């Protein structure tokens, strides 16, 4: 916020130099980010934090200096005697507009503002328009309360009503833009139509022009949440909305109104009506108990009780009760940021001086979460980090439209989105139901930055609508893997699916889960021949696979010829599964014999089915079984595929003979041919 030093001195003259005043404000937490000189005028650029809307004015800055220096504030002239009385009706929705005040100013002469006023507005970063509009902006800078001036003769019915729109409509605002108003936006109405977006911008049809002779001047208190929601939805930020959405002084709005009416009478030759003030629910100051002992506990030093009282009173807090242990403090209406005892202690510390508080290391008990699930998650992270992956951390939001782009069916649970009432971005309007959309965003960002070797994972919660009022929350782990080989022609090209499958199996291994399997999936975003569902104890807990070419095209990355592997697991289901008991296994005493079987089977038969049949075969000398090749193509009949399996035979009691193993292996081969309908590949 830009503040001319000479203007500030009219509110409070400390006798200090600009440099000293700038230092004082900075030490109070109102950082003076720059001091500039413009044609002999010194201008402060003060950074105001969002929690201090009371400091968005000369009066607010002066209050801080008053508390620090003890000098009194000099308020600008604002006393008025009405020149006439006029009937004018105001009605409000008291939930969204707690107070609305106004005055009518008749017989004004519209013209340029005086040079001194125009100059101060320019130094403060505002453009002079005409004397009436400039006065509302001038008072905004003085008192921090937004005002709006209507051309009275364009208002219908001598009526102002503050209410929501009630339906979708279009309103052309002062910037000549037609705004799409929603049914819940708060509007200012005359007797027939909406004439302004409350607290944000006026309507074009009722603006003050060079033809205006009569003005209705508005000063109101609007609900900050309502103003923030409408401003964000319309992408319309103004000096007024910036203040209203942070909170203004409900008790000070008439003072600002009277100051503006006073200036209009002085500078525009107007005559001022009586005050019209609708204020159904009066402000009741909040009261907070402040314990002296608690001050010492929080800031680490003892501040004399009398000094605490002096600081609070200098900041216009009212002490309503005092005991040897505590104070009862009444919060002024302009301090909307003060809600509890800790806030009061911060005020005391600020004005006592942070530099007077000795530097010390904080002392706090070390509370480490040593829960079993935390250890399991750390093990999973270790596996992925040691495999060269980087952890991604994303917002828990997504654009529901991504579900259509991923071809998620309507009946899929991932369609049960939890919609956000007031999203940070209009596009990300729902809580994500799985992690893949966020990881695809990360993938696209890296690809568009020219990065082609991408290994990312994320562990986070996902949300879906449930039967209860609150959504179902599930912990998940998601993985995305894009491998791009180098320029060497002899460099091996690893199969991304099997690399990713090996990593997932490693996750099961460190989780002590052995009863897992991979089965055919119907996930619509995965390549149908290179993807699987992941099952544990007859429960589907996730998926793994290669993104389909259609999905690549949908996200405009069809130029990426390499496979993009993705996987996602439900950690809550994973952690609930039975863990295998880790037992000591002695080294084998007798040698093993390996035999292979290559079967021609229907191409729709899952390789996992063959493994399950072998594991279930009734013999105690099969030690291990693995599939080492799946092939479709040349020399393979149409509709068939070759599945090659290696089987390890071993006995714990004796050395097996070839003849014995050959007999069992032949019986097993015949058994598999019968069960699968396949044939032995020659």
By percentage, how much of the chain surpasses pLDDT 90?
81
- pLDDT value at residue 153: 96
Whether residue 493 has pLDDT greater than 80? no
Higher local confidence (pLDDT), 195 or 450: 195
Q: How large is the average pLDDT for residues 628-653?
A: 90
Residues 216-261 pLDDT 10s: 999 999 999 999 999 999 999 999 999 999 999 999 999 999 999 9
Q: What is the pLDDT of residue 429?
A: 92
- For the chain, what percent of residues have pLDDT higher than 70? 97
In this prediction, residue 417 carries a pLDDT of: 94
Q: What CATH number labels 372-576?
A: 3.30.930.10
Strands 454-464 and 472-482: antiparallel
The topology (CATH level 3) of 2-69 is: Phenylalanyl-tRNA Synthetase; Chain B, domain 1 (3.30.56)
Return all residues near 29 (Cβ < 8 A) that are at least 6 apart: 49, 350
Whole-angstrom distance, CA of residue 160 vs CA of residue 277: 12
Angstrom distance (rounded) from CA 21 to CA 128: 28
Looking at residue 492, its pLDDT comes to 60
pLDDT of 620: 87
Task: List 593's β-bridge partners, or say none.
Answer: 649
pLDDT band at residue 489 under the 50/70/90 scheme: very low
- Whole-number average pLDDT of the chain: 92
CATH code of the region 593-680? 3.30.70.380
How do residues 653-677 score in pLDDT, each as one tens digit? 999 999 999 999 999 999 999 999 9
- Cα 99 to Cα 422: distance, rounded to the nearest angstrom: 25
Tens digit of each residue's pLDDT (9 = 90 or more) over 506-545: 999 999 888 888 888 889 999 988 899 999 988 999 999 9
Q: What is the pLDDT of residue 365?
A: 63
8-state DSSP, 259: H
Provide the 3-class DSSP secondary structure of residue 18: helix
The tokens for 552 are: 């690549």
What's the pLDDT band for 632 if we cut at 50, 70, 90?
confident
In terms of CATH, what superfamily is 89-278? Phenylalanyl-trna Synthetase, Chain B, domain 3 (3.50.40.10)
**pLDDT band, very low/low/confident/very high, at 452 (cuts 50, 70, 90):** confident
* Average pLDDT of the segment spanning 23-31: 93
Give the pLDDT of residue 107. Answer: 96
Contacts for 610 with CB less than 8 Å, ≥ 6 apart: 599, 601, 627, 643, 645, 672, 676
**Mean per-residue pLDDT, 634-651:** 92
Per-residue pLDDT, 422: 83
Model confidence at 586: pLDDT above 90: no
What pLDDT, on the 0 to 100 scale, is given for residue 490?
47
What is the residue extent of each domain of the chain? 2-69, 89-278, 287-354, 372-576, 593-680
Instruction: Flag whether pLDDT at 370 surpasses 70.
Output: no
pLDDT at 176 over 50: yes
pLDDT digits (tens, 9 = 90+) for 566-582: 999 999 999 988 777 66
Q: What is the DSSP string of 364-432?
A: --------HHHHHHHHHHHHHHHTT-EE----SEE-THHHHHTT--TTSGGG--EE-SS-SSSS--EE-
Domain 89-278 matches domain 287-354 at the CATH topology level: no
As a whole number, mean pLDDT of residues 8-37 equals 94
Residue 590 has pLDDT above 50, yes or no: yes
Q: Which fold has domain 287-354?
A: Phenylalanyl-tRNA Synthetase; Chain B, domain 1 (3.30.56)
DSSP state of 636: S
Note the pLDDT of residue 390. Answer: 96
Cα of 245 vs its chain's centroid, Å: 18
Alpha helices of 76-208 — where are they, by DSSP H?
Answer: 115-123, 131-143
> DSSP string spanning 487-501?
S-TT-----HHHHHH
């Amino acid at each position: 916020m830009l503040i001319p030093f000479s203007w500030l001195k009219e509110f409070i003259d400390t006798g200090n130099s600009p440099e000293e005043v700038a230092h004082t404000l900075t030490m109070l937490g109102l950082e003076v980010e720059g001091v500039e000189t413009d044609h002999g005028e010194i201008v402060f650029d003060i950074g105001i934090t969002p929690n201090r809307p009371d400091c968005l004015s000369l009066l607010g800055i002066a209050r801080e200096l008053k508390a620090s220096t003890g000098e009194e504030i000099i308020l600008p002239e604002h006393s008025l005697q009405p020149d006439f009385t006029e009937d004018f009706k105001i009605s409000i929705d008291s939930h969204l507009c707690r107070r609305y005040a106004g005055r009518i100013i008749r017989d004004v002469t519209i013209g340029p503002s005086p040079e001194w006023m125009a100059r101060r507005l320019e130094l403060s970063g505002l453009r002079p328009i005409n004397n009436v509009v400039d006065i509302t902006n001038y008072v905004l800078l003085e008192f921090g309360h937004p005002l709006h001036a209507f051309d009275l003769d364009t208002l219908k019915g001598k009526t102002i009503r503050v209410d929501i729109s009630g339906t979708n409509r279009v309103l052309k605002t002062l910037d000549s833009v037609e705004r799409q108003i929603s049914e819940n936006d708060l509007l200012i109405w005359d007797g027939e139509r909406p004439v302004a977006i409350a607290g944000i911008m006026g309507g074009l049809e009722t603006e003050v022009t060079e033809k205006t002779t009569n003005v209705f001047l508005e000063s109101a208190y609007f609900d900050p949440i309502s103003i923030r929601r409408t401003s964000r939805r319309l992408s319309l930020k103004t000096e007024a909305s910036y203040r209203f959405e942070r909170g203004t002084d409900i008790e000070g709005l008439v003072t600002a109104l009277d100051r503006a009416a006073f200036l209009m009478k002085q500078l525009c030759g107007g005559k001022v009506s009586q005050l019209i003030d609708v204020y159904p629910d009066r402000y009741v100051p909040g009261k907070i108990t402040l314990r002296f002992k608690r001050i010492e506990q929080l800031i680490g030093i003892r501040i004399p009780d009398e000094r605490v009282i002096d600081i609070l009173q200098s900041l216009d807090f009212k002490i309503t009760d005092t005991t040897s242990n505590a104070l009862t403090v009444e919060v002024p209406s302009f301090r909307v940021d003060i809600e509890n005892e800790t806030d009061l202690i911060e005020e005391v510390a600020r004005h006592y001086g942070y530099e007077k508080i000795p530097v010390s290391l904080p002392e706090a008990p070390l509370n480490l979460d040593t829960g079993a699930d935390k250890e399991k998650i750390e093990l999973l992270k270790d596996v992925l980090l040691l495999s060269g992956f980087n952890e991604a951390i994303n917002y828990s939001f997504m654009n529901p439209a991504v579900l259509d782009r991923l071809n998620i069916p309507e009946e899929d649970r991932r369609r049960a989105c939890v919609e956000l009432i007031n999203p940070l971005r209009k596009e990300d309007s729902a809580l994500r139901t799985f992690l893949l959309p966020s990881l695809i965003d990360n993938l696209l960002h890296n690809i568009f930055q020219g990065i082609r070797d991408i290994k990312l994972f994320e562990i986070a919660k996902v949300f879906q609508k449930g039967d209860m009022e609150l959504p179902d929350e599930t912990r998940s782990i998601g993985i995305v893997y894009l491998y791009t080989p180098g320029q060497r022609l002899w460099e091996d090209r690893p199969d991304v699916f099997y690399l990713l499958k090996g990593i997932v199996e490693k996750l099961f291994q460190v989780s002590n889960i052995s009863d897992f399997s991979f089965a055919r999936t119907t996930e619509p975003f995965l390549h149908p021949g290179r993807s699987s569902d992941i099952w544990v104890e007859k429960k589907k807990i996730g998926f793994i696979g290669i993104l389909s070419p259609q999905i690549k095209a949908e996200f405009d990355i069809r130029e990426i010829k390499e496979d993009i592997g993705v996987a996602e697991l439900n950690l809550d289901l994973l952690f609930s599964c039975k863990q295998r008991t880790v037992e000591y296994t002695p080294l084998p005493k007798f040698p093993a014999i390996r035999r292979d079987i290559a079967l021609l089977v229907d191409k729709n038969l899952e390789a996992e089915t063959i493994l399950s049949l072998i594991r279930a075969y009734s013999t105690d000398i099969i030690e291990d079984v693995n599939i080492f090749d799946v092939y479709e193509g040349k020399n393979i009949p149409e509709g068939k595929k070759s599945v090659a399996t290696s089987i390890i035979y071993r006995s714990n009691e004796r050395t097996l003979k070839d003849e014995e193993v050959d007999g069992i292996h032949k019986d097993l081969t015949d058994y598999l041919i019968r069960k699968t309908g396949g044939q032995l590949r020659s």
